[in-house]
Amino acid sequence: MQNIRLSLWGFLALLSVLWVAADPAVFQASTFFAVRGAMVQYSGVLAMGCMSVAMILALRPRFPERWMGGLDKMYRLHKWLGIGGLSLGIVHWLWAKGPKWAVGWGLLERPHRGPRPVPDGTVEQTLAALRGTAEGVGEWAFYAAVVLIVMALVTRVPYRLFVKTHRLLAAVYLVLVFHTVVLVNAGTWATPFGVLLAVLLAGGTGAAVIVLLGRVAAGRRVEGRIAALTYYPGVRVMEARIDIPRGWPGHTAGQFAFAMSNAGEGAHPYTIASAWNPGDPQVTFIVKELGDHTRRLRDTLTVGQTVTVEGPYGCFTFDDDCPHQIWVGGGIGITPFIARMQHLAASPRRPQTVDLFHTTTDYDAEAIARLTADAEAAGIRLHVLVDSRDGRLTGDRIRAAVPRWRDASLWFCGPSGFGQALRRDFAAHGMPVGTRFHQELFAMR
């Protein structure tokens, strides 16, 4: 999370510093409308900077994933950039429209403006002729962006509708690029700020085209077939084993992938619940019935069905040098730990001792029996807590069960609020959570 904050605020600070350096006379503005003109420019370019980086991250690029700590963290930054772009866009709109309203209401006096200077070059003249068009289409694109971003943030919107509408943001972004290129002060482009802005707009434009063509991460997609389906009614979970005969690069236990069985629904992210074996190339997903789509899978998936798998992604890979690890899997958050146990069971070297806590509201005897067998094969101490029978899992209960917790790292996958509560609890007891508490932020919107 710290790298996400550093990335967001560092990026905004860099844009701000370069913008001021490009036109330091902004601090000499002596009238309200002079300040207003500067703020319209400043808020607009910051908003477009946020949207440009968010658009680039939508491509799921490889290069920042390790530094960010995984694609889940990159998507959290993508979300924050979207919220930042929306907020700054609203500020930009208010600076542009508010003074006009105030003049109309008689609260401000319209400033006297002489004729605009005639641009010298052909490019400047063309841009000047397009100002009215850019302002008009930019305003309507802003309204569309507000609606689409809000729809993306409201989790009650069905995922399949979110996938379709969110792609429209790429088209809206391209309109806003046109708006920006025409209306940014012409002298800006020759400055370091202008160069950075041009790079951002070019990168965002390329990303938007790829999104509109449906080619995001196309090189990381492979075709597989469902080899087996198992349903556990007690916990309302479907386990799907998918054979991938070729193309899959392999994965590390704890990573996830996007799987698509229905093009109309789009690809959904699922943690991989199996270790990688090149001699038997397959991945297993364990999916809990949590929404409309996952509830339909039991009726729509069939053995032999073709599935597109994209990945792998994520850095929740259990890599540290602590002598002991504590794993906490809340509900369906148990899946990365199943994959890791399978990996450890097949590995002659056991790098650490492990305590696994699985807390769940539902219970299925067959599922728990398989989990217990995996833990025994991997040499891991398993603690299963059913909420109605054993009460809730707390930091105190973990520390009581693991006397060596001060020498351990803690790996958590489950409900976000539960994870944050555990993080605060262990931080209060002296654990350096910045380096030893690892949480999968498995929320893609």
pLDDT tens track for 280-330: 999 999 998 877 778 888 889 999 999 999 999 988 999 999 999 999 999
Question: What value does the mean pLDDT take over residues 235-246?
Answer: 92
* β-bridge mates for residue 310, sequence order: 221, 258
Q: How, if at all, do strands 324-330 and 353-360 pair?
A: parallel
Which of 280, 313, 346 represents a domain boundary (last residue)? 313
Question: Residue 166 and residue 72: Cα distance in Å, rounded?
Answer: 18
pLDDT at residue 204 is higher than 70: yes
pLDDT at residue 403 is higher than 70: yes
Question: What value does the mean pLDDT take over residues 93-106?
Answer: 91
Do the beta carbons of residue 77 and residue 4 sit within 8 Å? Answer: yes
pLDDT at residue 118 is higher than 80: no
Residue 307 domain flag: yes
CATH code of 285's domain? 2.40.30.10
pLDDT at residue 240 is higher than 70: yes
**Domain shared by 261 and 373, yes or no:** no
**Domain shared by 18 and 132, yes or no:** yes
Residue 19 domain flag: yes
Peptide bond just before 312 cis, omega within 30 deg? yes
Do the beta carbons of residue 182 and residue 131 sit within 8 Å? Answer: yes
Residue 319 domain flag: no
- Nearest of 303, 326, 299 to residue 438 by alpha carbon: 326
**Domain shared by 434 and 362, yes or no:** yes
Residue 148 domain flag: yes
**Domain shared by 10 and 141, yes or no:** yes
**Cα separations (Å) of 104 from 92, 98, 108?**
19, 10, 8
Which of 273, 291, 313 represents a domain boundary (last residue)? 313
Phi-psi region of 39 (alpha: psi -120 to 50; beta: other; left: phi over 0): alpha
Structural domain of residue 423, as residue ranges? 324-439
**Domain shared by 356 and 263, yes or no:** no
pLDDT tens track for 332-365: 899 999 999 999 998 877 778 999 999 999 888 9
**Domain shared by 329 and 429, yes or no:** yes
Question: What value does the mean pLDDT take over residues 418-444?
Answer: 90
If you average pLDDT over every residue of the chain, what do you get? 91
- Nearest of 299, 240, 304 to residue 273 by alpha carbon: 240
Which residues have a Cβ under 8 Å from the Cβ of 142 and sit 6 or more positions away? Answer: 89, 92, 93, 176
- DSSP state string for 336-390: HHHHHHHHHHT-S---SEEEEEEEESS--HHHHHHHHHHHHHHT-EEEEEEHHHH
pLDDT at residue 116 is higher than 80: no
Question: Residue 279 and residue 277: Cα distance in Å, rounded?
Answer: 5
Which residues have a Cβ under 8 Å from the Cβ of 186 and sit 6 or more positions away? Answer: 119, 124, 127
Do the beta carbons of residue 145 and residue 169 sit within 8 Å? Answer: yes
- Give this prediction's pTM: 0.87
Q: Which uninterrupted H or E stretch holds 161?
A: helix 159-183
Q: Which uninterrupted H or E stretch holds 49?
A: helix 32-57
Angle (CA) 364 365 366, round 5°? 95
**Domain shared by 328 and 411, yes or no:** yes
Which token pair is 86? 């929306």
Give the number of domains in the chain: 3
**Domain shared by 288 and 431, yes or no:** no
Edge-to-edge strand list for the sheet holding 408-413: 381-386, 353-360, 324-330, 408-413, 437-439
Which of 313, 333, 361 represents a domain boundary (last residue)? 313
Do the beta carbons of residue 229 and residue 239 sit within 8 Å? Answer: yes
**Domain shared by 225 and 277, yes or no:** yes
Cα dihedral across residues 43, 64, 245, 378: positive or negative = negative
Residue 374 domain flag: yes
**Domain shared by 20 and 159, yes or no:** yes
Q: Which uninterrupted H or E stretch holds 86?
A: helix 71-104
What share of the chain in percent tops pLDDT 90? 66
Residue 363 domain flag: yes
**Domain shared by 163 and 285, yes or no:** no
pLDDT score of 173: 98
- Nearest of 89, 63, 346, 61 to residue 211 by alpha carbon: 61
**Domain shared by 305 and 232, yes or no:** yes
CATH code of 202's domain? 1.20.120
- Model confidence at 172, pLDDT cuts 50, 70, 90, reads very high
Which residues have a Cβ under 8 Å from the Cβ of 235 and sit 6 or more positions away? Answer: 288, 360, 362, 363, 364, 367
- Model confidence at 3, pLDDT cuts 50, 70, 90, reads confident
Question: What value does the mean pLDDT take over residues 265-270?
Answer: 86
